[in-house]
Every structure is written in structure tokens, then in C-alpha cells.
Structure 1
Amino acid sequence: MRSFSELGLDPSLVKAVEEQGYKVSTPIQDKSIPPILLGRDVIAAAQTGTGKTASFTLPILQRLMPYANNSVSPAKHPVRCLILTPTRELAVQVHENVDSYGKYLEIRSMVLFGGVSMDFQMNQLGSGVEIVVATPGRLLDIEKNKAINFRMLEFLVLDEADRMLDMGFLPDITKIINMLPSRRQTLLFSATYSQEIAQSTKKWLIDPIRVDASPPNTLTKTIDHRFFSVEASAKATCLVRFLEGAGKGQMLIFCNTKIGADRLNRKLKRDNFEVAVIHGDRTQVERLKTLEDFKKGKISILVATDIAARGLDIENMPRVINFDVPLSSDDYVHRVGRTGRAGSQGEAITFVSEGDEQNISAIEKIPNLEVKTSPFDLFFSPRHVHSERDRKTLPVPAASRTNNSVSLFSEPYKPSSQSRGKVSNKKVRQPTALGKREVPALLLPPSRKLED
């Protein structure tokens, strides 16, 4: 890939990008930035974690540089760029990127979303701002109050357009686009490329250049996908077993419903995990604080619904867990896209229970994804719960079934003298929902053992 200076970006932008730790462009940046600098409409299909936000913020900032000024007059700072996102969290993150990359430019930006004072936002708009990042609903509320003017607008960005359409924003987006000047540059970025998006782009974009950083609806090669069969009534118990043996590192756990997310959050709190929950019923203040705490590492586990976690950008997220099977292949792509970002390795775990067959069938159609479901017990291999030196002491699995019980190992695992932690005399809770099964030794963290 080329360096950012080789893409034709101004030295002030290159300096800001390099200060963020980036030296060379990603594939989507390499393909998107040049045509955007030339003024072309662009449709970009890129997975999350590929650097797509910088793909449009950097060239737009460069195109706006002739308008940069430090005047206090609002008339000198008309709205010239509108970036629409599906969620408040993504809007905040995009705005943070705009601020970071434009730190050496006299260009103003702000973010608009619901859940905070609209009067404050309107006052900020009245002071003049060139770049507005907004969610569709709040933007329409602002426009109804005649607090924003699009006469000088030159750029429209639809970020994660597929999710905006999935969330039912098509009527709102249509209203907003009808307010904008017809002479503008329109950029559409999406992790997936559906037929609905294809139809919409014919109305919203003019002779667009199609940019594909990867085939549509596919996954990055840096993610290890694992599917495990779990009885529905035992999912929470199995999750706790997994978390106890998974070691350090942040995790994002997805549930399909807000009620389910709250229930799981309470369960994990009772088991003394550092966990928080985020979904649409949480207040804006709560959601932003939770995300900030998670980014800073104050929270190790975040339970979330699809909409709330849309666009989350957490560096070095090692693992994503689908406590509930996603309802569509697109949702699966978006969920697991939280890990394995920017070339780092990631792992996606999915719990599969009876009744998930239809959803799994949809996921199986994702290109280059092999869905092979294994018994949950077999997940606890040495590489997940033991150090390299301890792996050598593990017995070879010898699955056998006698008297309605399952024994996965020829003998109970006994930690070596070099194992981490001490053996505890604390009684281990039995997952009664699993019936008359023995708990294999490898389901337990190294610091515990089974007692008679």
C-alpha cells in the first residue's frame, strides 16, 4: 500500500494521521481517497475495521482546506459537509476522527444526535461549522427548527448505509437528501452491499465509482470463527465457564434483544465479572459513559445489542461472542467485524441452540466461512486456558459415553507444578442444566479442581 503522502494528501493531514500511528494506507483508503480528491461520487464496500472512516474524512478535509479560516463570523463557516450515521455512538466516533485528522486546520466540526439538549446544538450551529456529523432523526429535528442551512453544502457522506436502511431510515434519508443542493459530491460507505442499496444509489449518486476493498458480505481473514452447540437453558452457565478460563482481554458479547442483554448483564455481575450493558433503552449519558469506560479498559466485558454496538471501534478487541445467533448474515458480518481489525488476529465465538437452524443457514451462505458446529465441551482446548508449558501435561481426549454421562478425558486434569494459580478448596458450581453430565476438567480454570 502507498503512504498517505503518495495519495496526494496535504502534509498537515499526513502529520495528523501519522500521529495517530498510521504510516501507510489500507486497501480501502488506497482505492477511495484518489477519486474523492478528484470530486467523483463513490460507492465503497468495505468491512468494519478497514479504515473506511479515514477514507472519506481525509480527502474531504483536504477539499475543504481553501475555506479554512479563524474568523469569528458564523457567515465564514457555513455547513459544507454532512456525514450521516445510523447510531449516536458511530456519530461520536466519526466526529472524533474528523477532529483528530483536522487538528491542524481551521475547520470547525460538530456532532448531532438525540438524547442531549437540542438548544445547545442549535446554538453551536449558529456559531458556524463546516462539517456536521449527525444521525438522521436529530438532523430532521434541527431542520424543523430552521437551525441549519444547506445552501453551501458540497459533500454528503452516508456512512454504514446498509445499517441505516436496515433500521428503517430510508424515508428520513430521502427527506434529508431532498433538502440538499443537487450539485454536490456524494459518498456512500457500507460493510455490505444489498439490492436495496444498489437501487438507492441510482437516485442519490451521479456516475459513481465503485470501490471494493473486499467482496460484498465477506469477512476478514484474520478472524477465527468457532460455533458451539449449547442447550438453550445452559447458555449462561456455559458462558460463565468460558469467561473463567479465557484469561485477560476485553470481550464484546452480543444478544438479540434488550431484555436478554439486561438479563445476561445481571447474571455476569452476580458472578463478579467487570461487565456493563449497552442498548437502545439506556440513556445517552449512560451509553457514552459505558463506551468510554470500555475503551479505557475499566470494563472488560460489554454486553450489547446489534444497534447499540454498531460502529464500535475498540483497538485490539481479541474476541466477540454471539450469545445469541445473529438474525441475518449481515448482522453476523457486522458483529464479528468488531474483532480482527486492521490486520490483528481475532476470534468469533457463536453459541448455537435448538431453534437456530434458520439463522445458521443464512450465515452459512457468507463467502469463505465454514460453519462447523462442535460440542461446547470440546472448546476448552489447552490453547485457551493453559500456558504453552502446561499443554504438554494434558491428557489426550478420549470421548466415551457410559450410563448417560459424558467423559471427554481419560483422567481428570491435574495442573503441573508450573501452572499459574493455586488449587482452591472452593466447591465448584455444577451446571445442573446440563443434566447428568460430568464437568470435564478442562472446563475449569487452572486455579480450580473438581472435588469428590
Structure 2
Amino acid sequence: MVKHQLLLSKSHKKRKRDVTQDQVEESTDKPSPSKKTKKKRHDRAREPDATPTETMVTSHQPSTSSEPPIKQCSPAEAEAFLQKHSITISNQTQGDAVVPVTSFDQLSIPDGLRGAFTGFNEPTPIQACTWPPALKGKDVVGIAETGSGKTLAFGIPALARLIASPEQSKKKQSTISVLVVAPTRELAIQTHDALSALGAPFGIASVAVYGGVPKDAQVKALANGNAGGKITRIVVGTPGRIIDLVHDGVCDLSRVNYLVLDEADRMLDKGFENDITKIISYTIQGEERQTMMFSATWPEAVRRLASSFQHNPVRVTVGSDDLTANSRVEQIVDVFDDPYAKDDRLFNRLKSLSHKKTSHKGSDEARILIFALYKKEATRIEQSLGRAGYDVGALHGDMTQSARISALEKFKTGETGLLVATDVAARGLDIPNVGAVINYTFPLTLEDYIHRIGRTGRGGRTGKSITFFTGENHERALAGELARVLREGGFDTEADKLKKFPMTIKKKGHAAYGAFFRDDITAAPTKIVFE
């Protein structure tokens, strides 16, 4: 009996060695390796299966650097950093407190990811405090102002996680592990471009899915994603299109274990809560999924979402839980008695900003972003500036998606120095070298105003915003709120210009449900039975 077992064992080992040999040989035309070489290959091939527990842990909490990180900052230095940037960290355990990463050298990540830091001296506050828990596989909530570097805050841990757990392309199994949900098409495209650049050296591809364009190209990209030496492991998209493609059976999210909700407050404010819940249900459930949520504010609706789908998240707040203006942006207000004088003032402001009429691709000249409230108004301003000889583009809802992408790309590269946009461009977009923002018409809410001026002063730079204010229509009711924002930023002189208008502060309303929407009601509805 013992002899029979030994024969079976030898036969089994021989079969395994034959299979392993077939897997490691690159070509049948090459000469057969020696027995010693075969044995080495056989041992290497068996190593990943030898410790399955360690492999599983590594995929959830990536340790991605072969070199030990340099010495972390001391507790005193960490406390000074938190106080300097007004950072609050909640839900951290006593034995695992978050130590800010104050230098890129302190990050334990693959060298190929460090190219993303080119041009930056140090991590932004939100990056410094979200990277440590995120790289350990913990759920994170990040609350920070616009232009604070949130894309890399979740992008670096996402790529580190993917690199630590390489995926083999299998036709019958989804390879998508990372899903990023964004509120707008432009933000989805921007995030996709950033993650694609990060993943390219490692053979990791990303696909962007969003509405406003036919599905065909996106369906084809998802179907042919595992080609060209790259494997599609990331999907970035807007809620509606993600759900459509899942229902069509072309986007399988069942293996997503890293989920990002970017601009979460904006998505909830636009009425996407049910869509987000549905999308989350398509992914891996429970603690096996790491969920990252980033937002500019921390209202009750966002808190409720975090408590529903995250597991003991570490919450990092830079500044206030409420929406605040970028402190590096100088805010200027021009008050008008005659609304028709705004065109002349616009040309005068462009001259005072020393903006050149012509521009060229790759120009280092600072761009200027001009915001209009309505699509037709944006078109009129664009045409007026064009007739005056300015290189100008437009970005609004009446344009096709391809035209919008082209206009945005020309503005980013400096081919056009001016861009006239509606609020579609105000949220989340990271446009390099925007020196000033001009609000030709005041937006409908103070939140939109703050996000508009947040397009400048990004990445630690300074910027300038110039706002034309007439007090007409909706503007009169927002004068008090604008004055409050100006005073909070230290621009009292500018706030005094608005004293001619009522200084009342309107109750905050909901974009989808109006001023009487309540987001603090958690009790279940009472069922009434009539007998």
C-alpha cells in the first residue's frame, strides 16, 4: 500500500512538472533546458501557491516598495503639520494613528508612480493625510477645498494596489478592479487621463464611460480592453452611463474591490443617490472592498452615504466641513449700476491682466477662464472676444461632446488663452496655469461661485477671481452670502461694495428638491391604516 502511494506521488509530481515546464517555456523552437534549470523554474512557479494567505493580504494592503521608506516625521512635526493646514483626522485607532506624509520620499510605492510628482515640491495636505490609511487598505473620507489634489490622493493608492496584485487576462472573467464614479463627463475624462498615464508603464489600462456620446466606442473599448499589451483594470464614469453599460451586459463590476466616489456631495445634490446605491451593489460587498469618498463638504446626506457603504473610514478634513473658498485666490468684485457696461469692463480687465490676444500651443502664458450663466450668453461673449482678435474657445451644453473635448484640450495646451464656459466646467476640472477667473454673470448659488473661482490657485499656486455683480434677478438675494464669503477670506473692502444690497443669508436649498428639502430625517415613515 505504501509503495502504491509513493508511485502515485511521483506520478503526480511529474505531471505538475510537465505543466509548469509548458507554462514557463517561451517557445517550442528553443533548445530544451537542463534538468537543473527545469527544477529552478518549477520551484519559482510553485512559490505563489505556497503561501495563499500572504498573497491575499498583499492584494488588500499593498506593500509596494523594495526599499524601506525614510524616517517618518516625529509626533511633534506631525502635530505641527496638522495645525498649520487646519487638518482634522477622525476615526483613527490609538495604535494606528495617521502619520502625515510630508515628503514624497516617505511613500512606499513603485518607482514608476513617482513620475506623477514631477513639478511638485511636496504632497498637498489632503494627499499627505489620506495616503497612509489608503495604502494600508482602509476606507477613507477626504473633505477638502477644490484644487487640493484629490485625484492623486485616490489615484496613487489605486495603482499601488493594482501593481501589488497583477491580473492575468481571462476572456470569461472581468479584469476590472477599480471603479471611479464622477458627477460630470469632463471630470470623468480628466480622471481617466490621469489614471491612464499612471498605469501605462505597468500595462494597466483605463476606460472612460460617460453620456452625451454614443455607446459604441465605449462598448468596444470595454470589449477590447485586454489588448495591446495592457489589461483594462480601471473604469471611470458618470453614474447614468455606468448603469446603462452594466444593464447591457458589457461592463462587469463584480470584481471591483477599490471604489472611489469623487465629488460625492455634488452627485448627491444632483439627485444621484439611488444611482450610486445601485452601482455599489454591482461591486464586491463587505470589507473586501476598499471605498474612498472625496467631497468638498460634509453634509448629512454624505455622512449617511459613508456610514452605509464604508467600514470604519478614516475621515480627513482639511479646513472646514463646510464649503470654503480657496484661500490662495484673491477675490475682487465689480458692482454695476448698468448691466450693459459689463462688455467694456471685460475688455478693460483683460488689458489690466496683461493678457495677450494671440496664443500658441505650449505657451507658458497664464490662461483666463470666463464664466457665463447661460449657453447663449457664453456663445455671444465668445463671438465678441473673437471679433476683437482674441484666441478664444467655448465650453457649454449646446456643443457636441467632441467639440467640448477639443475646446478644453486647446485651452489646456495654451492654443487658446481664453475659454468662455458655463458651470459645466466649474466642478473638479484641473486646468493647468489658469491665472484668473472672471465671473461675467454671477452663478445661481454660492457653492457654484466657490467652485468657479477654484479653477485658479490650484496645486498650491495663487490666483485671482474677478466677479461682475449687478444685483439683478437672482443676484440680489445672494449678496449677503457673497459678502460673508468675502469677509471669511479677508476681503472686507470687496464685501463693503455690496452694502447697497440686502445682507440677508438665504436658507440653503437642494438642487433637486428645493429649499424645503430635509436631509436630517432618518426615521422610517409611519404607515397609516384607515378602517
TM range (shorter): 0.7 to 0.9
Give the whole-Å Cα distance in 2 for the aligned partners of 1:202 and 1:281: 38
Letter in 1 for 2:483: E
Give the whole-Å Cα distance in 1 for the aligned partners of 2:237 and 2:482: 31
Equivalent of residue 296 in structure 1, options 396, 402, 413: 413
Task: Assess, with a 3 A threshold, how the Cα gap between structure 1 residues 101 and 4 changes in structure 2: closer, same or farther.
Answer: farther
* 1:194-248 deviation line (CA, Å, top 9, x unaligned): 3322232222322211111222312332211111112222212221222233212
| 1:227 matches 2:344 | no
Which 10-residue stretch deviates more, 101-110 or 226-235? Answer: 101-110
Tell me, what secondary structure is at the counterpart of 2:241?
Answer: helix
How many angstroms does 1:30 deviate by? 0.6
How many angstroms does 1:6 deviate by? 0.7
Equivalent of residue 194 in structure 2, options 97, 102, 123: 97
How many angstroms does 1:52 deviate by? 1.0
What is the total number of aligned residue pairs between the two structures?
A: 373
| 1:4 matches 2:104 | yes
* 1:132-156 deviation line (CA, Å, top 9, x unaligned): 0111121112112111112211011
Give the whole-Å Cα distance in 2 for the aligned partners of 1:180 and 1:284: 29
TM-score by length of 1: 0.77
Q: Aligned residue for 1:205?
A: 310
Task: Answer yes or no: is the 8 Å Cα contact 2:174–2:254 preserved in 1.
Answer: no
Comparing both chains, which one has the higher relative contact order based on Cα–Cα distances under 8 Å and sequence gaps of 6 or more?
Answer: 1
Gaps of 5+ in 2: 1-100, 227-231, 356-365, 499-531
Task: Assess, with a 3 A threshold, how the Cα gap between structure 1 residues 375 and 219 changes in structure 2: closer, same or farther.
Answer: closer
* 1:110-132 deviation line (CA, Å, top 9, x unaligned): 11112334223223222342110
Give the whole-Å Cα distance in 2 for the aligned partners of 1:75 and 1:214: 47
What are the within-5 Å matches in structure 2 for residues 145-184 of structure 1? 145-183=248-286, 184=289
Which 10-residue stretch deviates more, 42-51 or 283-292? Answer: 42-51
Gaps of 5+ in 1: 377-452
Percent pairwise identity: 37
Equivalent of residue 58 in structure 1, options 156, 167, 172: 156
| 1:362 matches 2:490 | no
Give the whole-Å Cα distance in 1 for the aligned partners of 2:277 and 2:180: 14
Give the whole-Å Cα distance in 1 for the aligned partners of 2:389 and 2:381: 13
Q: Aligned residue for 1:440?
A: none
| 1:195 matches 2:300 | yes
What are the within-5 Å matches in structure 2 for residues 51-450 of structure 1? 51-69=149-167, 71=168, 73-75=170-172, 78-127=175-224, 128=226, 129-183=232-286, 184-216=289-321, 217-230=323-336, 231-248=338-355, 249-355=366-472, 356-366=475-485, 367-368=488-489, 370=491, 372-373=494-495
* 1:318-342 deviation line (CA, Å, top 9, x unaligned): 1001111222221122111111112
* 1:395-414 deviation line (CA, Å, top 9, x unaligned): xxxxxxxxxxxxxxxxxxxx
Letter in 2 for 1:151: S
Tell me, what secondary structure is at the counterpart of 1:303?
Answer: strand
Letter in 1 for 2:112: S
How many angstroms does 1:307 deviate by? 2.0
| 1:46 matches 2:165 | no
Letter in 1 for 2:374: T
Give the whole-Å Cα distance in 2 for the aligned partners of 1:186 and 1:132: 15
Give the whole-Å Cα distance in 2 for the aligned partners of 1:331 and 1:193: 16
How many angstroms does 1:287 deviate by? 0.3
Give the whole-Å Cα distance in 2 for the aligned partners of 1:152 and 1:5: 32
Give the whole-Å Cα distance in 2 for the aligned partners of 1:185 and 1:302: 38
How many angstroms does 1:174 deviate by? 2.3
Letter in 2 for 1:113: Y
Give the whole-Å Cα distance in 2 for the aligned partners of 1:24 and 1:74: 42
Letter in 2 for 1:130: R
Give the whole-Å Cα distance in 2 for the aligned partners of 1:61 and 1:257: 39
Task: Answer yes or no: is the 8 Å Cα contact 2:144–2:317 preserved in 1.
Answer: yes
Give the whole-Å Cα distance in 2 for the aligned partners of 1:212 and 1:92: 26
* 1:255-311 deviation line (CA, Å, top 9, x unaligned): 122222222222222322222211122111000000111011111111111123422
Equivalent of residue 29 in structure 1, options 127, 145, 148: 127
Tell me, what secondary structure is at the counterpart of 1:109?
Answer: strand
Task: Answer yes or no: is the 8 Å Cα contact 2:174–2:252 preserved in 1.
Answer: no
Tell me, what secondary structure is at the counterpart of 2:204?
Answer: coil
Letter in 2 for 1:193: W
Task: Answer yes or no: is the 8 Å Cα contact 2:206–2:233 preserved in 1.
Answer: yes
Which 10-residue stretch deviates more, 159-168 or 35-44? Answer: 159-168
Task: Assess, with a 3 A threshold, how the Cα gap between structure 1 residues 155 and 87 changes in structure 2: closer, same or farther.
Answer: same
How many angstroms does 1:28 deviate by? 0.8
Give the whole-Å Cα distance in 1 for the aligned partners of 2:192 and 2:111: 21
Task: Answer yes or no: is the 8 Å Cα contact 1:42–1:210 preserved in 2.
Answer: yes
Give the whole-Å Cα distance in 2 for the aligned partners of 1:263 and 1:161: 33
How many angstroms does 1:65 deviate by? 1.4
Which 10-residue stretch deviates more, 187-196 or 145-154? Answer: 187-196
Structure 1 consecutive aligned stretches of length 4 or more whose deviation exceeds 4 Å: 373-376
Letter in 2 for 1:31: C
Task: Answer yes or no: is the 8 Å Cα contact 1:41–1:208 preserved in 2.
Answer: yes
Q: Which has the higher helix share?
A: 2
Task: Assess, with a 3 A threshold, how the Cα gap between structure 1 residues 354 and 21 changes in structure 2: closer, same or farther.
Answer: closer
Give the whole-Å Cα distance in 2 for the aligned partners of 1:157 and 1:32: 13
Task: Answer yes or no: is the 8 Å Cα contact 1:109–1:132 preserved in 2.
Answer: yes
How many angstroms does 1:23 deviate by? 4.5
Tell me, what secondary structure is at the counterpart of 1:82?
Answer: strand
Q: What is the Cα-based RMSD across aligned positions, in Å?
A: 2.2
Task: Assess, with a 3 A threshold, how the Cα gap between structure 1 residues 99 and 22 changes in structure 2: closer, same or farther.
Answer: farther
Tell me, what secondary structure is at the counterpart of 1:327?
Answer: coil
Give the whole-Å Cα distance in 2 for the aligned partners of 1:306 and 1:244: 24
Letter in 2 for 1:133: V
How many angstroms does 1:72 deviate by? 5.0
Which 10-residue stretch deviates more, 124-133 or 348-357? Answer: 124-133
> Larger C-alpha radius of gyration, 1 or 2?
2
